A and B are shown apart, each in its own frame.
Chain A
């Protein structure tokens, strides 16, 4: 399952953030390791909302790549992020759930947490454009 994520993980920006994924059975968990460069406001201190948002988008893409053989990286169409708690200067974890997957568009929800899975720091839901392998309709649009 992790091999399918190679293209996603090879992106310079993803490497810069240091994002990694662990799969346990059919569950994929993303980790954004804490680094000082992720801090948005050093006075609170709180992680940058943009870093958490970007990590959740990467996790959504990973969930889609893990679930289906895609010929290209999923492209976000729109995402909506709820910030629920300030991100502490600690590692962030995230897991994505595909709520609907068609042949071109998928809906994904992601939850990100730090100390407790039950106390998420942020939640994302978004639509992603996908190109599943062998889907002729998606490859040759009219």
Chain B
């Protein structure tokens, strides 16, 4: 059962970050995904700096990284076949990330209850015992998300890319 689940996640892994234009634009990379956990990396990059004086990454980059990593942990926790939406995201910024260092987000789906998934995460720049930030988030399977997941499965089955053209 859990092996099947891992195989499903492994097959979807290439789309989980690259399928999201925003995550791709920020250079995020998936490091690991298991039935309860997701690890994602944000690169230290010139265009992601928040304060030109300190050259520290913008807090918003850490926000987007934690949001996405938590979403992936929720996706895995909910069975890897349902799309969910963020209900809320609470972030504690404990210290600035070191300039020059990538930031890693480690998210764990701590509980699934019906259509809800509760996720806890930390972001760090090398040492998980000295986090940059931590997050707690709640996700819920929505109708819009379900329709999107159905579309993605159909595209995947048809052998086409699950990434559709964005039409405003």
Contacts and interface: CB of A to CB of B under 8 A. Distances in A.
Contacts, number: 154
Interface of A: 7, 10-14, 16-17, 34, 36-51, 53-55, 57-58, 72-73, 75-83, 86, 89-90
A82 B89 CA distance: 7
Given A39-B20, A73-B51, A51 B64 contact: yes
Interface size class of B (residues with CB under 8 A): 35 or more
A36 B20 contact: no
By Cβ-Cβ distance, the 4 closest A-B pairs, closest first, are: A50-B64, A54-B60, A48-B22, A43-B148
Interface string B15-51: 0000111111100000000000000000000111111
B55 to A, nearest CB: 10
B162 interface: yes
Interface of B: 19-25, 46-53, 57-61, 63-68, 71, 83, 85-93, 96, 142, 144-145, 147-149, 151-152, 162-168
Contacts of A79: 63, 90-91, 93
